[in-house]
Amino acid sequence: MIKKVGVVGAGTMGSGIAALVASAGIPVVLLDIPGKEDRNEHAKRGLERALKARPAAFMDPERARYVEIGNTEDDLEKLKDCDWVVEAIIEKPEPKQALYARLEGLLKPTAIVSSNTSGIPMRILLEGRSEGFRRRFLGTHFFNPPRYLHLLELIPTPETDPKVLEEIRRFGERILGKGTVLAKDSPGFIANRLGVYGMVQAMRLMEKHGLTIDEVDALTGSLLGRPNSATFRTADLTGLDVLKMVAEELSEATGEDFRLPEWFYKMVEQGRLGDKTGGGFYKKENGERFTLDYTTFEYRPQRKLELPELAALKDRPLEERLKGALNLPGKYGAFLKELFARTVHYTVTKAPEIAYDLLAVDQALEWGFGWEEGPFKNMDALGLDYVRQAFKEFGLEEPAWTRGKARFYQDGQYLGFDGAYHPVPKRPDVIQLKSLKREGKVLYSAKEASILDLGDGVLLLEFHSKMNAIGEGVLRTLEKALRMVEEGEYLGLVIGNEDPRAFSAGANLALILSLAQEGEWDELRRATYFFQQATKAIRYSPFPVVVAPFGLTLGGGAEFTLHADHVQAHAELYIGLVEAGVGLLPAGGGTKEMLLRFTQELSGYAQADLFEGVRRAFELIATAKVATSALEAKKFGFLRDRDDITMNRDFLIADAKRKVLELAVDYRPPLPPRITVLGDEALGNLKYAVWQFREAGEITDHEVRIGQEIAWVLSGGGGPRREVSEDFLLELEREAFLRLLGTRKTQERIAHTLKTGKPLRN
């Protein structure tokens, strides 16, 4: 069991790894070389850098308490009780070897040591080490930034004890939440080797086919199922100096040609390194983006490539996009076809050298570079006949292991490098909705949501509307799912989905706005009531309902989460009741729920100031506060202490299912609570606070109005201090919601947000 981790080297990677380990709730010792005046200055600076990093390196800055800093001269002893020591120091063999020599005599005999090197062969790092040390050593290659990049490449040597590898894999996957992939000890491992090759080809072929940087980025991003940062935005983010260095190292280590075009080196010489120097392939001035013309070295206003063919492909499934991309007219299609042929040829040829199986190659590119599907899946989508044809066209020879084969994946098997098919290993902790659908486990499907059978008596409600917005279709499917569980004698329900970004962006605002503009107030009142009944049903159904939120979980999505019997949240959770941003308040039980949570929490203490709880709920809702991790969501009160966090998104649905089974054993639904409201006393105080903000010029008149409506609900509509029912507060929510929706300014806010995705402060 790994209970304490050491990280040596507090630079970019070491400090990021330490922040991730601490975020996971594991104590970590972070060491760097001694400083001149302050002996710990380097480690201290690393920790500070992690605390300042944006996006944040820590999931909760308070977790920095888990990090103990020191220097490698005075404090090496602090590593004595660490179960795993990660080395992330300067990329040179000698200092790394010297460090291991010192660690060898010091660490406990069971401690594991790993290197974060991105390219030095393990056998060189291990020179001079004992057999015992070698058994407990491997490469652990994190990507920058460690919190956000899902991939962790593990590089065992022939001497690594399989138990050591298994322990690091388990810890990496479950505790740190990474997608682990086994790589061979070859230069650049898997992701960088293939990724950098693709980047070099894209730059060379851009020149050859006479394309611009804007054009290449339009063609190599989401069209191919890759991030929007495509080729050149990615390079700007990585840094051109880093790319240059990695490409040079790869050339040297492999003897292959990773040379970038001449103008690339000129850019590096001129210090145009990307975002860190304020400009690279792109630069921003006064909010406008400019693109480099690599033939003249001048920046020109960005010119996005507009082709009717691209627009038509935009929202199509990946397979269609890929086929469409390679058939684009003229130089665009020609560029993509050659890029595709050369990069997949390289992949197919090198895969046996760099990986143990093709699964790892697909995963490395999906997890490391955010590809929707890895290269072997891409090739299957296009058909291997097409791929062979493309090889032929560019004079590329097909490697032996794929010859005569029709697919890389078929019937739950994959093609091994030995030319035979092998079963894709089952991962018992992972439930993939995609596979369940293939296996016919969909019990009901509507346009916006479906009901799936997760097995063992557990059903799942999946949203699949745009941004997983919650509208009537989702609510009706929820109703149906709850009925199915009850009537079909299932044990419980999970609410979750597999969208890459959003659990749910909230209620369907477009619909709400159009009903308001048409004056359909009865319909709106009915819809709001229906939403509230849905969140109530989540809580009071006679079986457990576990909600599994991740990513964007806003407004109505947050209200679903708040009403779960149990929340199984992904660590990367961006949850908030953001209704005030569009001039509304949470009316799916969210306002009621925060009041209940914060006052109930306090009512256990004699003499507690209940207004403190009311104020806390008010602040959260009126400022539309969003937590930026599940840990922060606990702090803000969106998650309760008893709710659980899953670090690795791949395990989320299976964890939620397990929780349903656990709760189902002796489940009894809660009793509807009585809630103490403070009436006029709270209303007066909150209104006064709102007024002060207005006086200070911090909020607009309409925001005063929004604040007052929130205050009205949270104080139980004024009057004396008393106990009220949940339904009473829900009615106040509905009334206040409809009043705000009736105002011109709220409608303007909604329209603006729908159009731009941004809030309007009117």
Shortest distance, position 160 Cβ to ligand NAD, whole Å: 19
Nearer to ligand NAD, 44 or 705 (CB): 44
Nearer to ligand NAD, 157 or 413 (CB): 157
Shortest distance, position 504 Cβ to ligand NAD, whole Å: 33
Which residues contact ligand NAD (rule: CB under 6 A)?
Answer: 8-14, 32-33, 42, 72, 88-91, 95, 99, 116-118, 141-144
Handedness of CA 268, 274, 279, 281 (dihedral sign): positive
Nearer to ligand NAD, 12 or 623 (CB): 12
Nearer to ligand NAD, 180 or 477 (CB): 180
Shortest distance, position 183 Cβ to ligand NAD, whole Å: 13
What span, in angstroms and rounded, lies between the C-alpha atoms of 379 and 358?
12
Shortest distance, position 408 Cβ to ligand NAD, whole Å: 28
What span, in angstroms and rounded, lies between the C-alpha atoms of 189 and 182?
9
Over its C-alpha atoms, the chain yields an Rg (Å, rounded) of 28
CA atoms within 13 A on the CB side of 761: 9
Nearer to ligand NAD, 160 or 192 (CB): 192
Spell out the SS3 assignment of 237-257: HHCHHHHHHHHHHHHHHHCCC
Nearer to ligand NAD, 17 or 730 (CB): 17
Give the β-pairing of 179-182 and 151-156: parallel
What span, in angstroms and rounded, lies between the C-alpha atoms of 56 and 62?
12
Shortest distance, position 397 Cβ to ligand NAD, whole Å: 33
Nearer to ligand NAD, 72 or 541 (CB): 72
The DSSP symbol for 466 reads: G
- Asked if 682 contacts 614 with a C-beta cutoff of 8 angstroms, the reply is yes
- Asked if 189 contacts 360 with a C-beta cutoff of 8 angstroms, the reply is no
DSSP string, 625-694: -EESSHHHHHHHTSS-TT-EEES-GGGHHHHHHHHHHHHHTT--PPPPPEEEE-THHHHHHHHHHHHHHH
- Asked if 413 contacts 419 with a C-beta cutoff of 8 angstroms, the reply is no
Q: Which residues contact 596 (CB under 8 A, 6 or more apart)?
A: 673, 675, 726
Shortest distance, position 204 Cβ to ligand NAD, whole Å: 24
Shortest distance, position 372 Cβ to ligand NAD, whole Å: 23
Residue type, 587: A
Nearest CA-CA partner of 729 in 719, 742, 717? 717
Nearer to ligand NAD, 277 or 600 (CB): 277
What span, in angstroms and rounded, lies between the C-alpha atoms of 141 and 674?
53
Nearer to ligand NAD, 91 or 319 (CB): 91
CA 374 from centroid of its chain's CA atoms: 18
Shortest distance, position 179 Cβ to ligand NAD, whole Å: 15
Shortest distance, position 143 Cβ to ligand NAD, whole Å: 6
Shortest distance, position 118 Cβ to ligand NAD, whole Å: 4
Shortest distance, position 72 Cβ to ligand NAD, whole Å: 5
Shortest distance, position 388 Cβ to ligand NAD, whole Å: 35
Nearer to ligand NAD, 20 or 724 (CB): 20
The helix (H) or strand (E) run that includes residue 755 is helix 744-756
Nearer to ligand NAD, 39 or 407 (CB): 39
What span, in angstroms and rounded, lies between the C-alpha atoms of 585 and 578?
8
- Asked if 182 contacts 154 with a C-beta cutoff of 8 angstroms, the reply is yes
Q: Which residue is nearest to ligand NAD (CB)?
A: 11
Nearer to ligand NAD, 32 or 709 (CB): 32
Shortest distance, position 12 Cβ to ligand NAD, whole Å: 4
458 beta partners = 455, 492
Spell out the SS3 assignment of 81-123: CCCEEEECCCCCHHHHHHHHHHHHHHCCCCCEEEECCCCCCHH
Nearest CA-CA partner of 143 in 175, 174, 179? 179
Nearer to ligand NAD, 120 or 513 (CB): 120
Nearer to ligand NAD, 64 or 527 (CB): 64
Shortest distance, position 96 Cβ to ligand NAD, whole Å: 7
- Asked if 49 contacts 14 with a C-beta cutoff of 8 angstroms, the reply is no
Nearest CA-CA partner of 346 in 327, 361, 325, 366? 361
67 beta partners = 28
Tokens of 550: 């991740």
What span, in angstroms and rounded, lies between the C-alpha atoms of 89 and 596?
50
What span, in angstroms and rounded, lies between the C-alpha atoms of 739 and 499?
34
Give the β-pairing of 67-71 and 28-32: parallel
Task: Tell me the CA distances in angstroms from 265 to 193, 271, 280, 631, 737, one per residue in order.
Answer: 20, 10, 12, 43, 59
- Asked if 336 contacts 323 with a C-beta cutoff of 8 angstroms, the reply is no
Shortest distance, position 220 Cβ to ligand NAD, whole Å: 21
Shortest distance, position 46 Cβ to ligand NAD, whole Å: 6
The helix (H) or strand (E) run that includes residue 201 is helix 191-209
Shortest distance, position 281 Cβ to ligand NAD, whole Å: 19
